[in-house]
Chains A and B, each alone.
Chain A
């Protein structure tokens, strides 16, 4: 009788502990965002601020950082990257999953190889190319390298393979072209996969510091993480309270978006068989 609740209790405790460990830095960030300078630099470590200083820190963050520009840049860059990734990956994955052509096997190998090459390996040639084209400090240089996502192709490929062939055959007999099939049959039925991929893509590119740091040197094109770095280097110095408040602001959209899309996200992952 009591063994089952006990087992559940242990599991619950373990999961809570794990969650707490992962959330600890974030919680500490929230707490720091509400502390005064003197609170932060005391020798004792306290989670609850002695003097609630949220308002001042947020005001400072908004005053000293062009928060609107940063968030807007983040939205533009992530939105464009996601749009182009889906635009390229869906037809590509459809072709590889459902059409028969000679190079299909070779393309599959190339996709798998593509998954193994990190952005860091290609960063230098890309930088030189953008420099030659005078495209540094532009949305193009921020977006272009990520428009073809092998991960997206791979993920959609797995999803499309599970779609019944008869559905596509029926569409062909109904008079649709291959592009028509993608637009009218594949895309409307691929929402779980698209949502799941949206989270992966947006999280990765919203939080990315590496690539913006390479191609952007002007505030006007700075993405949120890059903007924060400028803020720390130039203005805040050691004003960690304001810095944490700014960080809190730029992480908030993702947290909210995830909480809203959580259910579909999990659905999408289980449907694609990726799991984790």
Chain B
């Protein structure tokens, strides 16, 4: 039994399909990053899971229990919002205490004046403030508990939001781009901290982001969503090295993968002097080849490889990105080179472009990955969805 299970979720806003039969399973203690370009439906999925929105069809199971008819408040799902959504009129400590107070105090005990006179509530309140303090110590915000959100920095607010979500030990933890409002340095630091906190709490976490670096570096498994479809759910290495769909290959990887058009004939693709044998039957016609920029080499002499010209060179310190254009087709090919390989290159010069055919991935006309004999999966068998 998986900790979280989504089955065929569909959602449309006024005829616009936002989710197309999304299914997903998360194991206990797993960290899944939901990544995709903005507007791909990942935040909608999170909202539906939290109970803030309703799917048109499909089922949600948490710990084996059907959650479709359960109100957001009773799902025991915690969420960290992009804007942190802290209550502006409460101090950090009061913010963190809210979910505990709602859970542990009865309706009458929560009343402002009457409540404090009721028996038993003093002990509960003491317990709440103890737990708040404990949580704050873990997140190193115990010195901020008396400040209001308006008096805190972005990083501090983000920690308070994390504390508020974690303090009640939820059964699922949702994060909606929690780091996108932080500056770059803080973001990298916070990534590590969130992973660490997740490991400590062991609660299955769904982490929405549009930043592929975040997704690849933090998650146990990455779910790539594009246009309302969950295209692939696999380990970060598999997502990068063995994408199941051309859109996944395009979305993941910086700089973007090179896509070159080619022709499939009689179950083979001839490309750059090499023959790629397809393992499945494909009608003759155009296919796409994907080659990561790190598998493109440039030959300054121009004697080997496809004839082309360097349009632009970007120096990035540890690497150099060369934007080239093929003379024959006019396609742009990007090469990622080590600085010493790029020493003799200058923009505008003609070069020979060497594409490693054994690293090429073949995608069918509708974008699906086509297996080839030469390019076997590099690591464990990925889970396709």
Contact = CB atoms under 8 A, between A and B. Distances in A.
Interface string B65-104: 0000000111001110111011111000000001100110
B88 A174 contact: no
Nearest to A180: B102
Contacts of A169: 47, 50, 52, 72, 79, 81, 85
Nearest to B103: A175
Q: Find the residue from A174, A176, A184, A188 having the highest chain B CB count within 10 A.
A: A174
A176 B102 contact: yes
B89 A175 contact: no
Contacts of A45: none
A164 B79 contact: no
Nearest to B176: A166
Contacts of B82: 166
A173 B89 contact: no
A125 B155 CA distance: 60
Contact of B77 (A166, A173, A185, A189): A173
Contacts of B83: 164, 166
Interface string B321-349: 00000000000000000000000000000
Interface in A143-176: 164, 166-167, 169-176
B73 A175 contact: yes
A169 B73 CA distance: 10
A8 to B, nearest CB: 34
Interface string A97-135: 000000000000000000000000000000000000000
Contacts of B81: 166, 169-170
B89 A174 contact: no
A160 to B, nearest CB: 14
Contacts of A167: 85, 87
Contact of A173 (B78, B86, B87, B88): B78
B156 to A, nearest CB: 17
Interface string B147-178: 00000000000000000100000000000000
A164 B149 CA distance: 15
Contact of A172 (B73, B88, B103, B164): B73
A144 B164 CA distance: 43
A189 B52 contact: no
Nearest to B71: A172
A270 interface: no
A173 B103 contact: no
A189 B89 CA distance: 7
A140 interface: no
Contacts of A170: 79, 81, 85-87, 164
B88 A189 contact: yes
A127 B79 CA distance: 54
Contacts of A166: 81-83, 85
- The interface residues of chain B, by DSSP majority, are classed as mixed
A174 B102 CA distance: 7
A164 B78 CA distance: 18
B349 to A, nearest CB: 52
A176 B73 CA distance: 7
Contacts of A174: 73, 98-99, 102, 164
Contacts of A188: 87, 89
A219 B48 CA distance: 61
A188 B99 CA distance: 18
A262 interface: no
A170 B77 CA distance: 11
Contacts of B85: 164, 166-167, 169-170
A16 interface: no
A172 B89 contact: no
A177 B110 CA distance: 13
B50 A177 contact: no
Nearest to A172: B72
B344 to A, nearest CB: 53
A184 B85 CA distance: 14
A166 B51 CA distance: 13
A189 to B, nearest CB: 6
Contacts of B86: 170
Given A169-B50, A189-B88, A189-B89, A175 B102 contact: yes
Contacts of A176: 73, 102
A246 B102 CA distance: 53
A171 B98 CA distance: 9
A175 B47 CA distance: 15
A173 B98 contact: no
A90 to B, nearest CB: 15
Nearest to A174: B99
A107 to B, nearest CB: 20
A206 B87 CA distance: 35
Contacts of A189: 87-89
Contacts of B102: 174-176, 180
B99 A175 contact: yes
Most-contacted residue by chain A among B50, B51, B88 (CB, 10 A): B88
28 contacts: A164-B85, A167-B85, A167-B87, A169-B47, A169-B50, A169-B85, A170-B79, A170-B81, A170-B85, A170-B164, A171-B98, A172-B51, A172-B52, A172-B72, A173-B50, A173-B51, A173-B73, A173-B78, A174-B73, A174-B98, A174-B164, A175-B102, A175-B103, A176-B102, A180-B102, A185-B87, A188-B87, A189-B89
Interface of B: 47, 50-52, 72-74, 77-79, 81-83, 85-89, 98-99, 102-103, 164
Closest 6 CB pairs of A and B: A175-B102, A166-B85, A170-B85, A188-B89, A174-B99, A166-B81
Given A166-B85, A172-B52, A189-B89, 10 more contacts: A169-B50, A169-B72, A170-B79, A170-B87, A171-B87, A173-B52, A173-B99, A174-B164, A176-B102, A184-B87
